[in-house]
């Protein structure tokens, strides 16, 4: 048995803690945007992505 909780089992408490569905969605979108920016930056710094604008 896993010690991890399933999202469906803890979701209601997390929505309440985030003060609503909208706030939870905004927080998730912000986190995803941060990850995307970091990945783009990493690719450009490694020379694997498109060249930076001049």
Q: Give me the tens of pLDDT residue by residue for the chain, a chain 54 residues long.
A: 679 999 999 999 999 999 999 999 999 999 999 999 999 999 888 766 566 665
Determine, yes or no, domain membership for 29: yes
- Residue 4, SS3 per DSSP: coil
pLDDT at 2: 77
Number of domains in the chain: 1
Determine, yes or no, domain membership for 15: no
47 lies in which domain range? 24-54
Determine, yes or no, domain membership for 16: no
Determine, yes or no, domain membership for 33: yes
Determine, yes or no, domain membership for 9: no
- C-alpha torsion sign, points 9, 12, 13, 17: positive
Determine, yes or no, domain membership for 46: yes
pLDDT at 46: 78
Within the chain, where are the H helices?
A: 7-17, 21-46
pTM: 0.61
Owner of token pair 């986190």: 31
23 vs 17: CA distance, rounded Å: 10
Determine, yes or no, domain membership for 10: no
19 vs 8: CA distance, rounded Å: 17
């Amino acid at each position: 048995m896993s010690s991890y909780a399933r999202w469906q089992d803890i979701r209601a408490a997390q929505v309440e803690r985030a003060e609503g569905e909208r706030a939870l969605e905004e927080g998730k979108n912000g986190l995803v945007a941060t990850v995307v920016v970091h990945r783009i930056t990493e690719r450009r710094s490694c020379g694997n992505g498109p060249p930076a604008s001049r």
